[in-house]
Homo-oligomer: A and B are copies of this chain.
């Protein structure tokens, strides 16, 4: 199979770029002296995760128990399920542990900790639990100074669970676009999570792991004293949101959508392609940011950026391409029907999820199908 013979739309991975992105992150983590645990939610693809592990990653992070099941079946034991545990999912988590999966689960409340302890007693089971720390008010977690932290730790420890560590994610890092701000958020993430660990230890509770991370903070942190591991996901592909954040160039983006021109509205300067929001996802993550890319940046079939040409609109299976600023009245001549293009996506996690597989392009131009999975 070759790029020229692929049906459209298709989700392409440029393997050279992907490997460069993976090496860049791993080398950085090695230099900072921490383990690296990639978040596999971005690609849910064995081939990508194998490349991450081969580069030196230690274990994986998952966003669903289905990811844990699939990657455990593929031979990966060391897994953190980084979404607060729903008590009803404990049975599924226990089944994984009993099969030999070293699954870690997450709690951030007394109610959740008590439910885990009660379930453990009822099933004669012990879980390794990490406490989620809120370092930036972004989403879930316990503030580092909150009294609830010690209550949760005590309940889990006294209840026979293994209190494995603390975990934080500075999701607010996505909102910044300059290095000074990213360095500050990275330090806030580090300091908050380390502080929470120190409070637990000072209270006589175990807390071996201090796990933090997001792609921007991982790439901009100046030092990681007290941190034992970092998690990040989108760095393996990068995307236009991360380009706006300032951590990758357009030429680093490893994921793109291959599409074909199917029509024009010449007086509007529109080319219509066979990739709409179903192929790109509805993610408009660059809206209102430094540069709004619409539904994506248009490139030639071989990946050269067509400056100024964006997917400016999208219906389910139609994308509208146009030139920003001055409409291209000659677009039907510049991009005639049948022209094949690549579109760089706003958000690699969301775009990848629209596909059952990637088409991975090697440096020699050969194409291999890499399956991915979706659902729960």
Contact = CB atoms under 8 A, between A and B. Distances in A.
Given A272-B139, A317-B63, A278 B86 contact: no
Given A140-B272, A282-B283, A349 B316 contact: yes
A290 B112 CA distance: 38
A268 to B, nearest CB: 8
A353 interface: yes
Interface majority SS (helix, strand, loop, mixed), chain A:
loop
Interface in A3-55: 7-10, 41
Nearest to A346: B282
A354 B63 CA distance: 15
Contact of A338 (B9, B88, B278, B354): B88
Interface centre among A64, A89, A316, A347 (most CB of B within 10 A): A316
Contacts of A171: 315
A374 B356 CA distance: 8
A263 B88 contact: no
Q: Chain A, interface size: which category?
A: 35 or more
Nearest to A353: B278
Nearest to A314: B139
A176 interface: no
A69 interface: no
A86 B316 contact: no
Given A282-B284, A315-B139, A356-B374, A262 B85 contact: yes
Nearest to A5: B88
B262 A112 contact: yes
B353 A354 contact: yes
B317 A83 contact: yes
Given A262-B83, A272-B140, A350 B282 contact: yes
A188 to B, nearest CB: 17
Interface in A59-83: 63-64, 83
Interface string A354-366: 1110000000000
A320 interface: yes
A119 to B, nearest CB: 12
A370 interface: no
Given A109-B264, A282-B281, A284-B284, A87 B337 contact: yes
A23 to B, nearest CB: 25
A324 B97 CA distance: 41
B356 A112 contact: no
A263 B9 contact: no
Contacts of A279: 376
Interface in A307-326: 313, 315-318, 320
Nearest to A81: B317
B262 A84 contact: yes
A323 B52 CA distance: 41
A316 to B, nearest CB: 6
A260 interface: yes
B337 A263 contact: no
A260 B375 CA distance: 16
A209 interface: no
A330 interface: no
A214 to B, nearest CB: 11
Contacts of A318: 83-84, 139-140
Interface string A329-354: 00000001110000000010110011
Given A7-B92, A140-B262, A140-B263, 5 more contacts: A8-B88, A84-B318, A87-B338, A111-B337, A354-B374
CB-based closest 5 A-B pairs: A282-B282, A84-B262, A282-B283, A63-B317, A111-B337
